Amino acid sequence: MIGRRVALTGLGVVAPCGLGQENFWSGLLGQQFTGGKWTTITDWDPLPFFDSPKEARRADQVEQFALAAAAEAFAQAGDINVDPARFGVILGTGVGGLGTLEEQVQIRLEKGERRVSPFLVPMMMANASGAAISMRYGLQGPNETICTACAASTHALGYAARLIAMGRCDAIISGGSEAAATPSSLAGFNNMTALSSSGQSRPFDKERDGFVMGEGAGIFVLEEWNHAVARGAKILGEIVGSASNADAHHITAPAPGGRGAINCMRLALDEAGLRSDEIVYVNAHGTSTPLNDAAEAAAMTAVFPHRPIVTSIKGVTGHALGAAGALEVASILLSFEHKLVPPTAGTTTLDDDVTIDLVLGSPRPWEPGPTMSNNFGFGGHNGSIILIPAA
Active-site position among 150, 155, 227, 381: 150
- The predicted-structure confidence for 319-358, as pLDDT tens digits, reads as follows 999 999 999 999 999 999 999 999 999 999 999 999 999 9
Q: Identify the band that residue 391 occupies on the pLDDT scale cut at 50, 70 and 90.
A: confident
- pLDDT at residue 33 is higher than 90: no
Calculate mean pLDDT across residues 382-386: 98
Output the pLDDT for position 32.
61
Q: How confident is the model at residue 36 (pLDDT cuts 50, 70, 90)?
A: confident
Average pLDDT of the chain to the nearest whole number: 96
**Sequence-separated (6 or more) residues with CB below 8 Å from residue 23:** 17
Q: Which of 155, 227, 285, 381 is catalytic?
A: 285
The torsion angle over the Cα atoms of residues 262, 263, 264 and 269, rounded to 10 degrees, is 90
Mean pLDDT, residues 196-223 taken together: 96
Q: What is the pTM of this model?
A: 0.97
pLDDT for position 31: 65
Selection from 306, 215, 302 nearest residue 257 by Cα: 302
Collapsed DSSP state (helix, strand, coil) of residue 316: helix
What's the pLDDT tens digit per position in 173-191?
999 999 999 999 999 999 9
pLDDT (tens digit, 9 = 90+) per residue, 76-104? 999 999 999 999 999 999 999 999 999 99
Which pLDDT belongs to residue 30? 87
Contact yes or no for 387/280 (Cβ under 8 A): no
Catalytic residue, from 155, 169, 227, 319: name it.
319
Per-domain boundaries in the chain: 6-388
User: Hey, what CATH topology would domain 6-388 get?
Assistant: Peroxisomal Thiolase; Chain A, domain 1 (3.40.47)
Residue 219 has pLDDT above 80, yes or no: yes
Asked if 381 is an active-site residue, the reply is no
Q: Residue 357 is inside which H or E element, if any?
A: strand 357-358
- Residue of higher predicted confidence among 51 and 31: 51
Q: Does the pLDDT value for residue 34 go beyond 70? A: no
What residues have CB less than 8 Å from 281, skipping those under 6 apart? 308, 309, 310, 311, 332, 335, 341, 366, 368, 369, 370, 371, 372
Residues 6+ apart with CB under 8 A from 283: 310, 311, 312, 313, 328, 329, 331, 332, 371, 372, 373, 374
Which DSSP state fits 78? -
Integer CA distances (angstroms), 341 to 21, 30, 317, 360, in order: 15, 12, 15, 10
How large is the average pLDDT for residues 47-70?
A: 97
Mean pLDDT of 294-311: 97
Confidence label for 42 from pLDDT (cuts 50, 70 and 90): confident
319 catalytic per annotation: yes
- Is 249 one of the annotated active-site residues of the chain? no
Q: Cβ distance 348 to 360 under 8 Å?
A: yes
Q: Judging by DSSP bridges, how do beta strands 171-178 and 340-341 pair with one another?
A: unpaired
Contact 361, 31 (CB under 8 A): no
- Taking phi over 0 as left and psi of -120 to 50 as alpha, with beta for the rest, 210 belongs to left
Residue 129 pLDDT class (50, 70, 90 cuts)? very high
Residues in Cβ contact with 186 at an 8 Å cutoff, skipping those fewer than 6 apart: 37, 38, 195, 213
Confidence of residue 1 (pLDDT cuts 50, 70, 90): confident
Nearest to 213 by CA among 98, 79, 58, 63: 98
Beta bridge partners of 178: 216
Look at strands 381-388 and 371-377 and give their pairing: antiparallel
